[in-house]
Structure 1
Amino acid sequence: MAYLDNVAVFVRVVELGNLSAAGRDMRISPAVASNRIKELEKHLGVRLFNRTTRQLTPTEQGRVFYDGAKKVLDAVADAEAAVSALSGQPRGTIRVTAPLGLGRRLLASGIPEFRDRYPDIEVRLRLSDHDVDMMREGIDVAFRLGVLEDSSLRMRGVLECERVLVAAPSYLDKRGEPKSPDDLLAHDCLMLRYPGAREHFWTVRTSDGPRKLDVRGPYDSDDGDVLTGWALAGHGIVMKPRFEVEPFLREHRLKTIMTDTPPIPVQLAAVYPHKKYQDPKVRLLLDFMAERCQRMIRDILDGH
């Protein structure tokens, strides 16, 4: 297993570009990761990386070895999944990612319950409002609010989520309440922005069909909960899945606006590489979290 561990470290270093990131991903120190690479290079008799102060890039031999090593690790993972399915005792690690608000409200509290049911399965949850490269980051399942654009992935729909435009009463008292899409263009809109973000517009439903609005505002963030906080403080209008802001609406700390031309709904879905659905532990997590998300969103919207 020591050799296979060394190979696994090498693959993650190639994919993540440096020892520290690979070490964090595999829960080992950079020093241990470095030693494993050195052992592998000694065994193979070649240099696998060109080293700079900030990054490791694979040599020609390293690129060739990576292609073969990745196939070997994938084959081992498939074999372990097959044995797990036959034994009826799923085990191993699942890497899961989700947006911050969704992960905090719906997923995080469910992981201990999932582990109680399946103690041999470890779940590593990474929350980020950025788009995560699943293949590069080694993610098994991503829960997303939005459309699937990567054809190399499969999607399992969980629930269609209503979205709303909301603002604090203090903001509306100061700036007035927009009644139409054109009115919204003159307001401070709080935007989720980060490098590579795809949704730079707000799309609302009108009698003539969906309309994209090039809204603007003095604030943007890559953290959706920061945007909610700014809205609560009266700094602008934010577009959110209703389940995220329902408690604030019920407390009258936020108010829904433009109910005649609401944002188009967003699909809550689980996304995963094609082959991962054959892994029983992944299927168990998908079933568990899909049911939990549906139930919790219903409870939130019902005021429970």
Structure 2
Amino acid sequence: MPELADMRLFVQTVATGSLSAAGRELGFSPAVGSKRLARLEAALGTRLLQRSSRRLSLTDEGAIYFERCQAILADVEEAEAAIGRGSLGPRGVLRVSSPVALGRRWIGPVMARFALDNPGVSVHLSLSDSVVDLIEGGFDCAVRIGGAEDSRLVVRTLAPNRRVVCSAPAYLADREPPRTPADLSTHDCIVMTHNLSGNADWRFRPVSSPASAWTTVRIRGRMVADNGEQAHDWALAGLGLVRRSIWDVMTELGDGRLVEVLPEWTGESSPIQVVYTSRRFLPTRTRQFIDLLVSQFASQPEP
């Protein structure tokens, strides 16, 4: 039967992306770590990790075993805590992924509160506008705009979300605001794309006619970034129109640093959702954190 120490090594290897790094954190030399991982795979009769000179990746069997190991180790940690302190408080490391802007404005503060309320938990927050693989990255959950297309993931909606086009008042000081989506072609636009192509398709339909067909406008950005926060900063500096999730610009729209244009037109709705790998094998720390996220977003007025 596999030993808990070997399970911990396996989980830590996936979380850090390196057998050597996992060994250092757990007090194993690389040679001992390699032998322990080989012993674990031999005991299970299957390969858990594909190894190359550059990276480690989970096999299909490894992904299933990783999910189960996370839950088992979390239960063990909580059982040990119950004996030591008479408490069943969550333990371990909570690893969360989030888009940059949403993470800084909303998810980071929730994680700070969770850490204060649960001293037995360490929190790791990864901010990236790219969609990460939860299992390969060793994350407990991820907050996303628009949810997940991966059928392996459980999805829980946190809040509705719409995209708005906005700019700093200074940008519109000597320009006529766009009245229709077609007018965007005469304006400087700030585009956020992962491949820095400079082009993006923005879709709209009239607020007064939500059942009407979408109007698609090809945007050619003068300012292009692969990071939403940079695009946000450029808009605040008066460099053009930007399309952002309402949750990313809510504060600035409220205090006047940004103003919405095309208010009679609505963009596509992309709800804010939290995704995770299993409802059945969810560690207590992850379940409680997700519940806190839900309550925090529910307490906000709908934008």
TM-score range, shorter chain: 0.7 to 0.9
Q: Distance in 2 between matches of 1:188 and 1:276?
A: 49
Query: Amino acid of the residue matched to residue 100 of structure 2?
Result: L
Partner of 1:233 in structure 2?
237
1:228 match: secondary structure: helix
Q: Is residue 283 of structure 1 aligned with residue 287 of structure 2?
A: yes
Task: Give the conservation status (yes or no) of the 8 Å contact 1:140–1:276.
Answer: no
Query: Amino acid of the residue matched to residue 274 of structure 1?
Result: S
Deviations 1:192-215 (A, max 9, x none): 211499x94222223433323221
Q: CA deviation at 1:245?
A: 2.0
Q: CA deviation at 1:113?
A: 2.0
Q: CA deviation at 1:95?
A: 1.2
Deviations 1:195-242 (A, max 9, x none): 499x94222223433323221212221221111111111111111222
Moved more, 182-191 or 67-76: 67-76
Measured at CA, do residues 260 and 36 of structure 1 come closer, stay the same or move farther in structure 2, by a change above 3 Å? farther
Moved more, 267-276 or 67-76: 67-76
* 1:236-255 superposed matches below 5 A: 236-255=240-259
Q: Is residue 191 of structure 1 aligned with residue 194 of structure 2?
A: no
Measured at CA, do residues 9 and 229 of structure 1 come closer, stay the same or move farther in structure 2, by a change above 3 Å? closer
Q: Distance in 2 between matches of 1:266 and 1:166?
A: 17
Aligned-residue RMSD, C-alpha = 3.7
Measured at CA, do residues 68 and 194 of structure 1 come closer, stay the same or move farther in structure 2, by a change above 3 Å? closer
2:194 match: secondary structure: coil
Q: CA deviation at 1:80?
A: 3.9
Measured at CA, do residues 9 and 90 of structure 1 come closer, stay the same or move farther in structure 2, by a change above 3 Å? closer
Unaligned runs of 5+ in 1: none
**Greater helix share, structure number:** 1
Q: Distance in 2 between matches of 1:253 and 1:8?
A: 45
Deviations 1:58-109 (A, max 9, x none): 8xxxx8xx66665554433333455649984332222111111111111212
2:71 paired residue among 56, 60, 78:
78
Q: Is residue 101 of structure 1 aligned with residue 101 of structure 2?
A: yes
Q: CA deviation at 1:276?
A: 6.1
Q: Distance in 1 between matches of 2:257 and 2:219?
A: 23
* 1:73-222 superposed matches below 5 A: 73-81=66-74, 84=78, 88-195=88-195, 200-206=200-206, 207=209, 208-222=212-226
2:288 match: secondary structure: helix
Q: Distance in 2 between matches of 1:19 and 1:111?
A: 28
Measured at CA, do residues 254 and 287 of structure 1 come closer, stay the same or move farther in structure 2, by a change above 3 Å? same
Unaligned runs of 5+ in 2: 43-48
Deviations 1:20-62 (A, max 9, x none): 8xx3xx5947x96744444447869x9x98764xx1578xxxx
Task: Give the conservation status (yes or no) of the 8 Å contact 1:167–1:254.
Answer: yes
Task: Give the conservation status (yes or no) of the 8 Å contact 1:130–1:222.
Answer: no
Partner of 1:272 in structure 2?
276
Moved more, 229-238 or 121-130: 121-130
Measured at CA, do residues 117 and 183 of structure 1 come closer, stay the same or move farther in structure 2, by a change above 3 Å? same
Deviations 1:165-191 (A, max 9, x none): 101222223443111011113322212
Q: Distance in 2 between matches of 1:50 and 1:75?
A: 21
User: How many residues were matched structurally?
Assistant: 281
2:125 match: secondary structure: strand
Identical positions, percent = 27
Q: CA deviation at 1:261?
A: 0.8
Q: Distance in 2 between matches of 1:27 and 1:125?
A: 22
Q: CA deviation at 1:269?
A: 1.0
